[in-house]
Structure 1
Amino acid sequence: MNHSQNTIPPLFRCPISLDLLEDPVTLCTGQTYDRSNIEKWLAAGNLTCPVTMQKLHDPSIVPNHTLRHLIDQWLQLGPLFDPSNPETSTSDSLASLKRNLESHESSLDTKLQALTKISLLSDEYCSFNKSCFLQLNFLPLLLELVFGTPVSIDHMNFIELALCCIQKLLPLGSLEPLNIIKDGSKLAMFVVLIEKGSNSVKTSLCRVIESASWSSETEELCYILGNSPKLVHEIVQIVNQNYEVSGDAIKAMSALCSLQSNRESLVRGRAIDGIMRYISSGRRNMAPLAVRTVEKLMELESGRVALVNHPNGVRTLVNMVFKVSDQECSESAVEVLLVVCGEFERARETAIESGVLTRLLLLLQSQSSNTTKSKARMLLKLLRSESRQN
């Protein structure tokens, strides 16, 4: 934002240049200057404070973070900001921004500008800003604007920015406002957005799903999301096809899987296929979480059958058994193999053909936990018995 000289509050001007303080620092005399200006003054051999002309017994300079914060707020809020009463200025500004978002007369550009300012202010997690956002009920408003408005190409930028703001506001208070998504039309909009939205929109929606698993307030919402065949299908599609967002989709899938009543729906939605493809493709950032999700799905007979019937399911898990950098993956992979190999002869044969015996022996010589080694011994005993029979 550009400001003419006569609009800059005196408190925010450098006494040397009279320009806006960009990097305010304070001398031992208590006077604040812009870093570049005072450093030039001192480098020229001056050992006094430019304003008070006091001799500097200590020439060191200290960053003035409080003033920097006030200047940032002034730059964001413009003329509404009063340096002498910053809290009232912030509250009034947020109320004004909310009115802009609520008004049917506000243009799309006005609303986008309002969201940009909200996004900047929500980055500052001071207790006063938090209380303002909560008291003004910004989260319910933004959720209504995103999921209660018909989608059009013109509004996609608005939705993208609003979802970014929602992400920032979710950790500030109760998650109960998310329950608005339980409404049929809003759930349908959620599915449309995750299907047709940009990568930023898809990422934000995956994180909303993750948030819904955090609290008992949103347990029913988590169930509704997890039992929406279209939504589960879209999440699996992201895991399969979208490299950039696949990690967030794995987190969303894991969040849904945290509710036992969602797991059958995830298996029907081919979650195991998606996870196997994710792991085998080399996208390993979320591999430990992905394998833990498979481990939870093994509680279901349908999950075990889906894994054994997957062309590379058992082989993929065998490859995860001994990973020096992924001990967590090793433990979950051994647990899953122990379950399916104990039940399916075909799984035992495939595991042996894939070299699991060597990997288990290496695992037993590694720094893995005692629990992992105990399970590895059980699996080794089971598979050696199978090997001798053949």
Structure 2
Amino acid sequence: MATEKTREELYVTVPNLFRCPISMDVMTSPVSLCTGVTYDRSSIEKWLELGHKTCPATMQTLPSTLTTPNLTLRRLIQLWLSHADAARAPSCALSKQEAAAIIKGELDAASLGKMIDFMKSSEGNLKFVALSSSAISRFVEFFVESDEIRIRELIVEVFDLISSENSVREKLNELILNCGDGRDYLSPFAAVLREGNAESKVKSAKILELIALNPESQHKISDSPGLLQNLYTLTTSESNTSAVEAGLSALLAVATTRAAKKELIRLGIVRTAGRILSTPDPARGVIERATAMLESVATCTEGRGAIGGDRECVAETVRRLMKCPGAATEHGIAVLWSVCCLARDATAQETAAEANGLTKVLLVMQSGCSSSTSMMCRELVKVLRAKSGSKSNLAPHYQTRTTHIAPY
């Protein structure tokens, strides 16, 4: 009873600013609409997926449904939660001196577990580790030296905890990708992605995305044996939305070369993306990343051929237009333009026309979109109108010079 009373008191004292206006729960991933109102990501995405085009709190019509992470509020909530946890739990058993001694000494699963508890116990402890170059170097070193998957899972959790702190991203990039000692610092990530638990796989993908700072880093990651395939495997996890989203995000960050895109096409990324789009009720973030992935591979000849040859993928891309407004719709238009206009794939044109593509593209144009998307819509209308035999009241003159996608 005492525990229940304590929890109830803590709940009552939650600052209103930390509550989602829709669910009234403490926000875990606060994002802001263009109206300035902040919601929990899962709640506002469900609202938008139901077809609403207004801000739930103000009922203003939304000129854009794009959301922006509210990082300041997220940090304040994390600080409040850490203090709330401290109020109902014993303080961390480690002092900073003891934590420093662990870092310098022999690391094992038990000591890493204590270090993770130490970092989770307070913001100050987390910064203590994140701001220590020697600590990060030691964890990276042990990540490579150890052959135990459990050790590597724990170190990935350490990386994930410290990744939000300033300059850690650059430090990890330097230690993992630019150490210059000839050792393979990426193979442990492949091992975790292959053999680790579901949570550690997701965190590994996020770290790889985090350290892909520039073309050189992206090439090193995508060229590392097994990494692309392991990340692709994450995207096929039908029962784990977080894994699918993390896998797609990492692939978008690292698979930037034609060679990497060709490998993903060989693995089946077009078929997988089409399957994701056909899922009855997918998360908005997953849809956005799946369509972005298709747009990415459509920048090469092989990708356009694979998409054009997959009727289901083309049809599902058309079906998703306007159902998930914003980035996903613009990605979808770029995909359709690539195969129907740039590649002039007759099968893709027929499939898009049969899937009511002309009407969907017209709706996108009417809803308001970027200038490049509007240009592609005009060209799509011209192609699909001819293919479907439909008439349109659009002006007969089109600006057909396209520079949105530079094909290989």
Q: TM-score, normalised by structure 1?
A: 0.66
SS state of the match for residue 272, structure 1? helix
**CA deviation profile, 1:22-61 (whole Å, cap 9, x unmatched):** 9xx9xxxxxxxxxxxxxxxxxxxxxxxxxxxxxxxxxxxx
Report the AA paired with residue 337 of structure 1. Answer: L
Deviation at 1:341, TM superposition (A): 0.7
2:384 aligned with 1:383, yes or no?
Answer: yes
CA distance in 2, matches of 1:369, 1:337: 16
Deviation at 1:340, TM superposition (A): 0.5
Aligned residues: 301
Alignment partner for residue 141 of structure 1, among 120, 138, 141? 138
2:185 aligned with 1:186, yes or no?
Answer: yes
Aligned in 2, Cα 1:259/1:119: closer, same or farther, shift over 3 Å? farther
CA distance in 2, matches of 1:168, 1:185: 23
SS state of the match for residue 299, structure 1? coil
Aligned runs of 1:320-359 on 2, under 5 Å?
320-323=320-323, 325-342=324-341, 343=343, 344-359=345-360
**CA deviation profile, 1:208-251 (whole Å, cap 9, x unmatched):** 111022x34xx433212212352211212111125321111111
SS state of the match for residue 150, structure 1? coil
Q: Which moved more, 1:342-351 or 1:162-171?
A: 162-171
CA contact (8 A) 1:115 1:165 kept: yes
Q: Tell me the C-alpha RMSD between the 2 structures.
A: 3.5
2:152 aligned with 1:159, yes or no?
Answer: yes
Where do 5+ consecutive residues of structure 1 fail to align? 1-21, 26-64, 81-92
Deviation at 1:350, TM superposition (A): 1.2
CA distance in 2, matches of 1:270, 1:229: 18
Deviation at 1:270, TM superposition (A): 2.8
CA distance in 2, matches of 1:177, 1:102: 19
Q: Which residue of 2 aligns with 1:98?
A: 100
Q: Which residue of 1 aligns with 2:161?
A: 168
SS state of the match for residue 284, structure 2? coil
Where do 5+ consecutive residues of structure 2 fail to align? 1-9, 14-78, 391-408
CA contact (8 A) 1:227 1:265 kept: no
2:316 aligned with 1:316, yes or no?
Answer: yes
CA distance in 2, matches of 1:130, 1:141: 16
CA distance in 1, matches of 2:295, 2:183: 32
CA contact (8 A) 1:146 1:159 kept: yes
Aligned in 2, Cα 1:165/1:97: closer, same or farther, shift over 3 Å? same
CA distance in 1, matches of 2:155, 2:332: 39
Q: Which residue of 1 aligns with 2:265?
A: 267
CA distance in 2, matches of 1:298, 1:350: 17
CA contact (8 A) 2:160 2:203 kept: yes
**CA deviation profile, 1:263-298 (whole Å, cap 9, x unmatched):** 344333333233222222242332123212321221
Deviation at 1:372, TM superposition (A): 3.5
CA contact (8 A) 1:232 1:269 kept: no
Q: Which residue of 2 aligns with 1:291?
A: 291
**CA deviation profile, 1:52-83 (whole Å, cap 9, x unmatched):** xxxxxxxxxxxxx99x96x9599545585xxx
CA distance in 1, matches of 2:94, 2:132: 23
Give percent identity, aligned residues only: 18
CA contact (8 A) 1:77 1:117 kept: yes
Deviation at 1:355, TM superposition (A): 1.8
Deviation at 1:114, TM superposition (A): 2.6
Aligned runs of 1:69-148 on 2, under 5 Å?
72=86, 76-78=91-93, 80=95, 93=96, 95-104=97-106, 108-121=109-122, 123-124=123-124, 130=127, 133-148=130-145
Q: Which residue of 2 aligns with 1:278?
A: 276
CA distance in 2, matches of 1:113, 1:273: 43
CA contact (8 A) 1:308 1:347 kept: yes
Q: Which moved more, 1:377-386 or 1:356-365?
A: 356-365
CA contact (8 A) 2:291 2:328 kept: yes
Q: Which residue of 1 aligns with 2:232?
A: 236
Report the AA paired with residue 249 of structure 1. Answer: G
Name which one, 1 or 2, has greater alpha-carbon Rg: 1
Q: Which residue of 2 aligns with 1:197?
A: 196
Q: TM-score, normalised by structure 2?
A: 0.64
Q: Which residue of 2 aligns with 1:220?
A: 216
Q: Which residue of 2 aligns with 1:366?
A: 367
CA contact (8 A) 2:320 2:329 kept: yes
CA distance in 2, matches of 1:114, 1:257: 34
CA distance in 2, matches of 1:228, 1:203: 18
Q: Which residue of 2 aligns with 1:32?
A: none
Query: Relative CO higher for 1 or 2, CA cutoff 8 Å, sep ≥ 6?
Result: 2
CA distance in 2, matches of 1:191, 1:380: 44
Deviation at 1:206, TM superposition (A): 0.7
CA distance in 2, matches of 1:306, 1:276: 11
Deviation at 1:299, TM superposition (A): 1.5
Aligned in 2, Cα 1:96/1:284: closer, same or farther, shift over 3 Å? same
Report the AA paired with residue 384 of structure 2. Answer: L
**CA deviation profile, 1:103-135 (whole Å, cap 9, x unmatched):** 23x6642442133213334x449xxx6366323
CA contact (8 A) 2:292 2:331 kept: yes
Aligned in 2, Cα 1:304/1:209: closer, same or farther, shift over 3 Å? same
CA distance in 2, matches of 1:308, 1:230: 27
CA contact (8 A) 1:76 1:120 kept: yes
CA distance in 2, matches of 1:210, 1:97: 28
Q: Which residue of 2 aligns with 1:209?
A: 208
Higher helix proportion: 1
